[in-house]
Amino acid sequence: MEQITINTTADKLYFSRALNLIGSIKKNHRQNTPIIVWDKGLTRLQQKIIRSLGVEIRKIEKFSPHWNECYSWKFFVYKKSPAGIFLHLDAGNTVLAPLDYVFEEAQRTGIFLVEQGQILEQITPKEMHLRLNPMASLNDEVFAAGNIALNKSDPKVSAMIDELYNASLAGECLGYSQIESYRDKSELKITRDCALFRHDQTIINLILRKHFAEPKLHNHRHFASVSLYPDTVIFNNRSLRHDHIAHVSSSKAISYLILTYCLAFDIFSRIPRLTKKLLST
């Protein structure tokens, strides 16, 4: 099998989520699986903590003026991840069982995708569909951009990643549906004509289907579940969890020291926002 790596991305506010993911991988997959954290704004102390755990950090470069908007950085990570098979899990995911099947499927087919319970029409502007891939059926099921494994030794995957990266450079990920215009904190003022534009997810769902006509989508209950089931392999948690941080180090003392830091940081970093919310109600 090709070399494998597991990738996630974090800034300082997502540090504990990334550590919880790392702890879950070490506990439930394999202790020696190479993990890369892509740095989108970690503090120096957080970087030192991650490196002390034997986890590599790579910096997300400011590769375009909008690199940090609307998940544009995601395709930089795809492109710059080391050659071989890489699984990208958004920080906040928790691995609950071995990931062997995920990597075997990516080795065999070039890709591992997880369905999201939507169809392409819901997340795709009409003009973008016509421009990026008019042959894609708008009735196709949508797959996740965060829970995804790719085999970069596959020529089709390599060509797709190049196309995705160029799309990111061109600003294709930017913008919001009318219903989410309140999220436009940077005042991009780009309105996308669809029910719910999903930025990187919309773009990869269009472009991947140029290279893979009928991609297999795996059940989100198993590999991106927002609820816990007995057969869930990857739990796509939507809130703070710290239960696997105790497994980030072979030393329990170090693990619990890191856990204490995470709990304190998460509490104090959210006090200004909590205070503002309480005062506004």
Instruction: Quote the pLDDT of residue 21.
Output: 97
Q: Say how far apart CA 128 and CA 131 lie, in whole Å.
A: 5
Instruction: Quote the pLDDT of residue 278.
Output: 47
Task: Say if strands 85-88 and 234-236 run parallel, antiparallel, or are unpaired.
Answer: unpaired
Instruction: Quote the pLDDT of residue 281.
Output: 44
68 phi/psi in degrees, rounded to 5: -105, 15
Task: Say if strands 191-192 and 176-177 run parallel, antiparallel, or are unpaired.
Answer: parallel
* Long-range contacts of the stretch 126-130 (C-beta < 8 A, 24+): 126/193, 126/194, 127/193, 128/172, 128/192, 128/202, 128/206, 129/206
| Among the listed residues 176, 169, 174, 164, the one whose alpha carbon sits nearest the alpha carbon of residue 132 | 164
Instruction: Quote the pLDDT of residue 1.
Output: 65
Instruction: Quote the pLDDT of residue 238.
Output: 74
Tens of pLDDT along the chain (281 residues) come to 678 999 999 999 999 999 999 999 999 998 889 999 999 999 999 999 999 999 999 999 999 999 999 999 999 999 999 879 999 999 999 999 999 999 999 999 999 999 999 999 999 999 999 999 999 999 999 999 999 999 999 999 999 999 999 999 999 999 999 999 999 999 999 999 999 999 999 999 999 999 998 999 999 999 999 999 999 999 998 788 899 999 999 999 999 999 999 999 998 887 766 555 544 44
Tokens representing residue 203 in the block: 């773009």
Residues paired with 35 in a beta bridge: 6
Q: Say how far apart CA 39 and CA 18 lie, in whole Å.
A: 11
The 3-class secondary structure across the chain, one letter per residue, is CCCEEEEEEECHHHHHHHHHHHHHHHHHCCCCCCEEEEECCCCHHHHHHHHHCCCEEEECCCCCCCCCCCCCHHHHHHHHCCCCEEEECCECEEECCCCHHHHHHHHHHCEEEEEEEEEHHHHCCHHHHHHHCCCCCCCCEEECCCCEEEECCCHHHHHHHHHHHHHHHCCCCCCEEHHHHHHCCCCCCCEECCCCCCCHHHHHHHHHHHHCCCCCEECHHHHCECCCCCCCCEEECCCCCCCCHHHCCCCHHHHHHHHHHHHHHHHHHHHHHHHHHHHHC
Q: Say how far apart CA 168 and CA 183 lie, in whole Å.
A: 19
Q: Say how far apart CA 134 and CA 122 lie, in whole Å.
A: 15
Instruction: Quote the pLDDT of residue 266.
Output: 92
Q: Say how far apart CA 218 and CA 143 lie, in whole Å.
A: 9
In this structure, which amino acid lies at residue 147? Answer: N
Instruction: Quote the pLDDT of residue 179.
Output: 96
